[in-house]
Chains A and B, each alone.
Chain A
Amino acid sequence: MLAVRVLGTLAILFVLSIIVFSMLHLAPGDLVKTLLGTRPASPEAVAAIREQYHLDDPLPVQYLRWLGGVLTGDFGQSIRLQTSVADAIGSRLGLTLALCGLAFVAAIGTGIPLGVQSAVRAGGVLDRVGTALGVIGLSAPTFAVGLLLLYVFAYYLPIFPVYGGGRGPLDTLYHLILPAITLAAGLGAIVLKLTRTAMLRELDADYVTSARARGIPEGRVRRLALRNAAIPIVTGASLLLTFLVGGTVLAETTYALPGLGTLLQDSVLFKDLAVVQALTLLVALVIAVIALLADLAYLLLDPRVRAKGGTA
């Protein structure tokens, strides 16, 4: 069961790596010119590029050589930044991780309690307000929310900086608050919806009625229900991650933060393909691993699945 799942993930990553590798060869325009970037195309430079990228080898050999590099952390050179791709990504990873982490904590911290309360008092004022906020959070594009928040909290009420990444850890954190809230709006809406649906179903279950009939305090009953509701919430983690990837690009662009999202956007517009390839693979890998971990968490959370998985 688990082995099949792991093999399936590896197969998808393998196919994706072939697609990502072919991107360099399928991109319109002359490959050598793309790789040269802004350097002049003298015959020596062209020969050097052909030599450096082994362009005269058969494609499968080129692919295997590229894959070998990728697996050892060598993604090649960025033609735009004139550094190795690994360095370009490494220097920006921290900011993106901090932004996503903050947004994630904010989304979980508001989405789950609000979702539980909405389900407990379904149809009440809080539920209706929560549902309305959820619809806006799910529908509104990240950049539109970001721009509107900029007006409110950086222009009309100048509490937060307009853009940039800030200097030093504390200043960076300060610069990240508004982008994190922007990102958390969409994330929190997804968490809220998942939590509310799952809790409504659990609170309707027989074991809740029976627990209440036995006089078990309401707080403990809700904790029991939440534990069971955790499974669909955790399974939705890949949904959150998919949103987070697109959202980070948009939030970083809106607030001009020097993170991986802006790196991707700049590299795409500049046709700096080595960076685009590396980032695409990286995202695919992270998503695949998180989806696997979500499945494993499913085993930990649900003893019934664990028992079945053990025998199968």
Chain B
Amino acid sequence: MSASLGAVGVAFRRRGVPATVIVCLVVLAAAFLAVVLGPVLFPEATKQDILSSLMPAGSPGHPLGTDELGRDILALTVAGAASALVGPVCVAVGSMLLGILLGTLAGYERGPLDFVISRWTDLLLALPVLLAAIVVSGVFGGGYWTTVALLVLLFSPSDIRIVRAGVLEQSARPYIEAAQMLSLSRWRVMFRHILPNVSSLVITNAMLNVAFALVAFSSLSFLGVGVPPGTADWGRQLTDSRAIMFDNPAAVIVPAVLIIAVACAVNLVGDWLGQRLTRSGGLA
């Protein structure tokens, strides 16, 4: 992994980071702060207080107002960042690791193992992620981390395919033949020699998967699946505040805009990173 982190470093050190990317990085840094500091700053964000229900934005003590349960929108939104963002990042990292393992095995070992893994990805790709997640998560129940595990499984086919294609392309090259001639173990060839050369593709895809997972995750919690009621979570907040959307618009507009902003920022940084990494010596 140190080789791939080095590649990211190279991408950053190059001159001329575009202004949009800087803005996106600021948005992501703010989101990261909210994830880390949210529970510290607003430990009682989900506490209900009927006496102060439905206050409009700009009320004293409640800059963004409150919802019908008297929860402060600002506190709820900052505290909701953790639930809305940690899951998607775990999904992207998890499906990346699964993709690296299965994709490398399929691409390097070929044969029956490749056949089984490839048919497995075909099967998973035949169903839309969101539909499968709604059905499985809704019918079988399960909490936050079950949903994360389910999405890891549903996101993995794209990672598996990308890694497999990269490994297939690399394993035909002379340096792999040389490594095999030195009778290095197959695990060493796969993960010390081939993997660093496909890492730029993998990292770019994982970055874009964070954006997709964010959308999928918030969609599920908007539909009332995956995140239990009463949790501080952006998607959940949108469902809960649907009834009061015209009484206190901030309760809906703020989390909706935040979801869009973070997803856009992740996508743009991912695209930019992808272009930089592929130009700086990774796979074309």
Q: A: which residues have CB within 8 A of B?
A: 8, 12, 15-16, 23, 26-28, 135-136, 138-145, 147-148, 150-151, 155, 241-243, 245-246, 249-250, 253, 264-265, 268-269, 271, 273, 276, 280, 283-284, 287-288
Contact = CB atoms under 8 A, between A and B. Distances in A.
Contact of B245 (A150, A273, A283): A150
B264 A136 contact: yes
B284 to A, nearest CB: 14
B256 A283 contact: no
B260 A151 contact: no
Contact of A250 (B211, B219, B249, B252): B219
Interface string B120-156: 0011001111110011001111000000000000000
A269 B257 contact: no
A268 B135 contact: yes
B253 interface: yes
From DSSP, what is the main secondary structure of chain A's interface residues?
helix
Nearest to B255: A144
Interface in B219-241: 219, 222-225, 238
A245 B141 contact: no
Contacts of A28: 140-141
A284 B126 CA distance: 7
6 contacts: A16-B127, A135-B268, A144-B238, A253-B222, A264-B134, A268-B138
Nearest to B259: A144
Contacts of B263: 139-141
Contacts of B215: 139-141
B205 interface: no
B115 interface: no
Contacts of B211: 139
B122 A280 contact: no
A149 to B, nearest CB: 10
Given A12-B122, A140-B264, A246-B128, A147 B139 contact: no
B267 interface: yes
Contacts of B128: 241-243, 245-246, 283, 287
Contact of A143 (B123, B238, B264): B238
Contacts of B224: 265, 269
B140 A26 contact: yes
A133 B175 CA distance: 44
B218 interface: yes
Residue among B122, B139, B218, B260 with max Cβ neighbours from chain A (10 Å): B139
A269 B238 contact: no
Contacts of B130: 245-246, 249-250
A147 B250 CA distance: 12
Contacts of B249: 151, 155
A243 B225 CA distance: 19
Given A140-B260, A141-B260, 19 more contacts: A16-B126, A23-B139, A27-B139, A135-B268, A139-B211, A139-B263, A140-B215, A142-B219, A143-B218, A143-B219, A143-B222, A147-B253, A148-B253, A243-B128, A246-B131, A273-B139, A280-B131, A283-B127, A288-B126
Nearest to A273: B139
A249 B134 contact: yes
Nearest to A276: B135
Nearest to A155: B246
Contact of A139 (B219, B257, B260): B260
Given A8-B122, A144-B259, A135 B131 contact: no
A159 B249 CA distance: 18
Nearest to A150: B245
A144 B245 CA distance: 13
A253 B223 contact: yes
Given A148-B257, A250-B222, A253-B223, A268 B238 contact: no
Contact of B253 (A8, A135, A151, A242): A151
